[in-house]
Each structure stands twice: as C-alpha cells, then as structure tokens.
Structure 1
Amino acid sequence: MSKVGFIGLGIMGGPMAANLVAAGHEVTGYNRSQAKIDQLVAKGGKAASTVAEAVRDAEVIFTMLPDSPDVEAVVLGEDGVLAHAREGALLVDCSTIRPDVSRRVAEAAAEKGVRALDAPVSGGEPKAIDGTLSIMVGGEESTFAAARDVLGAVGTTVVHVGPAGAGQTVKAANQLIVAGNIGLLAEALVFLEAHGVDTEAGLKVLGGGLAGSTVLDAKGDKMRNREFGPGFRIELHHKDMGIVQAAAREAGLTIPLGALVGQLVAAANAQGDGKLDHSGLFRQIANLNGRD
C-alpha cells in the first residue's frame, strides 16, 4: 500500500480520497476548506494544513482541482507540489484542464525527478463515490504501469491513451459528447412534455433502444423532476467547453454541434445557473420554448 497525498477534496476528490483509504492506502488530504479535510479524517484519512505537508512524504500525489490556473498554482507554484514532492514520487492530476498545461506540468515534474500523469475522470459524483470512474490517462507507459494499482482504487475503466496531455484531450472529447447528449435529452423531454406524453414511460422506452445512454440514465429523472442539485456544475462544464473549443481551433477543426451546445451552456452559466448540475441545461432549453 502507498502513502498518498490528496489535494482537492471536493465533490469528486473527497470520495476518491475516501476510496483510497478504503483500499488500504495511507491518505493525507488537503483542501482549502477545513470541513472537507474533517470528512476525510472521519473516514480514516489524515489531515494536512498545507500542500507541503500533504505531499512531503507521499509516494503518490493526487490533485483534483477546478481549472488550469488552479493546477498551475498548486503544482508549479513557489510553495507548491513540485517544490516539496520527493524524488521518484508519482503525480496524478485528475483535474480537467487544458492539454498544454498538462504537458507543461509533466515537463516541470520531470525536471524535479517526479513522474507525472494527466488522469482526468468521467462518471460524476455517483461513480466517484462507488469507485467506478472511467479514467483516461496521459503520460509515459512506465509511469502508467506504476500507477495502475492505485488508480484501480478509484476507477474500473482505467486506460492509457497516449503521452502527456492525451488524457486531457480524451476528456475534452468526453465533455463534448456529454454536453451534446444533455442538450438533446433536454430537447427530447421538452418535446415529450409538449405533446402530453407520460415522460417516465417515454424515457424508459427510449433508454432501451438506440437512444439509450448513460446520460439518459443518470440525468433523465433529474430533468423530469426539476432536481438540479450539483453533481457536476454547469460552470465547470462551461469551462470544459472552452477547452474543447480551444483544442479544436488548435487542430484547425470546426465542431458545429459542439459550438452550438457550448453557447447554450455559456448562456445557462451567464444567466445564473452555473451552480446547478449540468442537467440544469434543461432550464435553458425549456425557457427557449416558453416552458419551465
């Protein structure tokens, strides 16, 4: 079992750190809010009052942070992870950030003798809690092999997808697909409601056919019941769609459907729905049709 430092104990990071504890690892956690640290301690983890304290003795360091600037500050900062990590440690960044930032982190880590992976995750809070996340991993093959067992404590689909930054590129594609599915599911539900269809029955039969998806299973009832408590917030998906658009431009690509759903997500965020679960995009689609 490994000594693990875990930085970022939010909706996703907290359950992931708890699953590492449950798997027998010695986990020391740090978060800006003390309450999140206390929750990890209650589940058998240890508390750190600084980033340095969390990572100094760690063999494996996880980061799960909101955005690229957060990762740059926490990992590359003067008093950050790389300033205190021991030589030979594994750095596993599970944040969803720009691929170029992940590549820069990997290069800086290598200069410090730290092995780095970008390992963004998909599955939302429910799969973070039950340890069945899908993890797309970028980095050296040997580093992935060294981290495979510890990643298995938080995910069941753990795939090496290429060199540094590749994990983030695959995650951008994931977020593109998810946003499109959420937008179309919202439109379909508004369509069913407008025609007076029993939406519970309608979504059940749709879920059993080619239209079925994980998004439909996870988000359909949230939309039907107008329950948009956050699992993955709209404001974060808005950030991710920005990553998608930037990466598409970098590759000289046009993504017309992605651009449209990106604008809908941006509108939902601008109109005050950013703290809602991304299934709350339904509200934007409903409002466009004069419904609620």
Structure 2
Amino acid sequence: MNVTFIGLGIMGQNMARNLLPHVQLTVFNRSPQPVEALVAEGARAASSLSDAVAKADVVFTMLASPEVVAAQAFGDEGFLQAMPNDSLWVNCSTVNPSFSRDAAQAARAAGIRFLDAPVAGTRKPAEDGTLTFLVGGSDADLNQVRPLLEHMGDKIVHTGRQGQGSAFKMLINAQLAQSMAVFAETALLGEKLGFSREMLMDTLPNLPVSAPFLAGKAELIRHGQFEPQFPLELMLKDLHLLEQTAYEHQQPLFMSSVAKALYASADAAGHGRDDFSALHAFLETHSQG
C-alpha cells in the first residue's frame, strides 16, 4: 500500500515513523528537517504536494490548524486535486467539526473519500504508538485504514458520520484545558495555605477527583520545566475552535470562555511554545502581582 503523510510536527513525525516499517511511505513537510530524518529511515521525500499524493492509496494529514489544512489541501496547488480517484484522505489534524464537513464535501466533489480522525494523546503516546483515534466516516473507509491506525494507536473510537471525530475531539479538549486550569489554580492556593509544592504534586493528582493526565503534568510543574508535550498555543487554538463550534450550535460555554481567556493571557506572556501545563507558571506569576 502506498501511503503519504503530510505534516511532520512533533506528533506527525512520530506517527509517520510508526507507519514506516509497514508501508511504502512518502512524506512531505514545509520545513526540511523532519523529512530528512524520515528519509534516513527509509521514507521517500516528495518534492511538492502533488508529487506527495500522486500515487497514494491513503493520505494522512497532521497539520496545525484548519487554515493550514485548507492551504495545503485546496486551491490550484493543493494536494486534493492531485490525489488518485477513489483514494482516501484521513485528516488527523484537530479542526472544528464544520471544517471537517466542508473538507468531506470538497473531497467528495474531487472523487476522494474522507475520514476525520483526530487523536487523543500527546508526544509520548505518539512515540509509543498508543494514541487514540476519534474517527468520523463510513465503516468501509475505516476498515480500510484500521491496520494503519493500529500501527500508530492502541484504541480506535468510531464516533459516527464525517465530522463527528472532530466534534468529539472538541469535547475532550474542553475538559483537558479546564482540568489543567482548575488543577493549577488549586495547587497555587494550596501553597498559600502552607502546603509544600512537593506535597501537593505528590498527592493532588492521585485523588479520585483528579483527571489521570494530571500526574504527568505535575512532574513538569514540580521541576518548573515545561518541555512541550502539547504546546499551550495549540491548546489556545483548540479553545478558539471550541468557542466557534459552540457559537454555531447556539450553546453557551461559560467555563470554557474563562479558560480561553487564561490561555490567551499565558500565550501573550510568552508561554505559547511551552507545554500547556505552563499555565501554572503564568498563574503563579500573576498571583505575585
């Protein structure tokens, strides 16, 4: 099977690497370094988007935003027009559901099949091949790529029709962002109440009321080193997409709106490229006046 992977950021490069032993893999990225790394391991580098997809049975995209997906997929030089008829585009990028539905319609008009398959998981699960795929689309299309998804992840959730994978990702990231904000705020209050950071990072994440992912984030906070597993600027982008989606469905999101303002302030303060748990560092500075 000929497979193309477009978008080799932190997540995409690791996902593509897990595919490499199993398929004929072509890769494309706007910056050359990740391409060179995968070529050294046996992938083929494409010279352009059209070259990348010309012989592909399946094209995966893992890009930063709806705007980047649109720029690379649509238009006169986009890859969609160069894909073989009846090939399959699997978009793993986090985008809003209405964008996924529009992408599915554009793919259908071009004679291409489409799945939206964003992932739950960050850098380490991408490295380990233990991501969760949230898939929207037909059973037949999912069955075609299921073996490929299983090389990159250990769980596949078929959420329904096209666009529903992206919709479910909105729900996950809404909880993720807010849980981090609540944890950071609570831990900082705990220090003001006389508990040590060590004690709080040892105990709070392990309570029944705490989300499991907070144990890993507590270690970043403990050491004050926020190497990006999930960059804060991308969490802010996802909260913007969440707000847009809620507006389209006339559903107010009071808590998520507060969370978006917090992440926007942390981003403006220079934490955008840090892990999103750096919200703790921002709030700590803010609490000191």
TM (norm. structure 1) is 0.94
SS in 2 for 1:62: strand
Aligned position for 1:160: 158
The C-alpha deviation readout for 1:175-213, integer Å capped at 9, x for no partner, is 111101111121122123323434334333333331332
What pairs with 1:1-292 in structure 2 (closer than 5 Å)? 2-22=1-21, 24-290=22-288
Aligned mates of 1:36, 1:102 — CA distance in 2 = 26
1:228-286 CA-to-partner distances (Å, cap 9, x unmatched) read 12222111111110111111111111121111111101111122221111111112221
Cα RMSD of the aligned pairs, angstroms, is: 1.5
Query: Per-residue deviation at 1:38?
Result: 0.7
Q: Is the 8 A contact 1:135 1:158 kept in 2?
A: yes
Runs of 4+ residues deviating >6 angstroms: none
Q: Is the 8 A contact 2:116 2:137 kept in 1?
A: yes
1:279/1:207 CA distance change after superposition, 3 Å: closer
Measure the CA separation in 2 of the matches of 1:280 and 1:202. Answer: 16
Listed as ranges, the gaps of 5+ residues in structure 2 are none
Q: Percent identity?
A: 35
Distance between the aligned counterparts of 2:113 and 2:81, measured in 1?
14
Superposed displacement of residue 127, structure 1:
0.7
Whole-Å separation in 1 of the counterparts to 2:40 and 2:211: 36
Contact 1:181 1:215 in 2 (8 A): no
Q: Distance in 1 between matches of 2:2 and 2:193?
A: 57
Deviation at 1:75, TM superposition (A): 1.1
What amino acid is the match of 2:282? Q
SS in 1 for 2:166: helix
SS at match of 2:115: strand
Looking at structure 1, the residues matched to 216 and 51 of structure 2 have their Cα atoms a distance apart, in angstroms, of 38
Alignment check: 8 A CA contact 1:185 1:220 kept = no
Please state how far the C-alpha of 1:147 moved relative to its aligned partner.
1.6
1:122/1:135 contact within 8 Å kept: yes
* Distance in 1 of aligned mates of 2:175 and 2:40: 37
Which stretch has the larger CA shift, 189-198 or 149-158?
Answer: 189-198
- Contact 2:118–2:166 (CA<8 Å) still a contact in 1? yes
Contact preservation (8 Å) 1:8, 1:31: yes
- 2:201/2:222 contact within 8 Å kept: no
Gaps of 5+ in 1: none
Q: Which amino acid aligns with 1:6?
A: F
Which SS does the other structure have where 2:98 is aligned? Answer: helix
SS in 1 for 2:178: helix
Higher deviation after alignment, 57-66 or 71-80? 71-80
The residue type paired with residue 71 of structure 1 is V
User: Which residue identity does 1:207 align to in structure 2?
Assistant: P
Deviations 1:118-172 (Å, cap 9, x if unpaired)? 1111211111110111111111222122221111111111111011111111111
Letter in 2 for 1:187: E
CA contact (8 A) 2:269 2:282 kept: no
CA distance in 2, matches of 1:44, 1:189: 46
Number of residues of Structure 1 aligned to a counterpart in Structure 2:
289
Q: What is the identity, as a one-letter code, of the residue corresponding to 1:4?
A: V
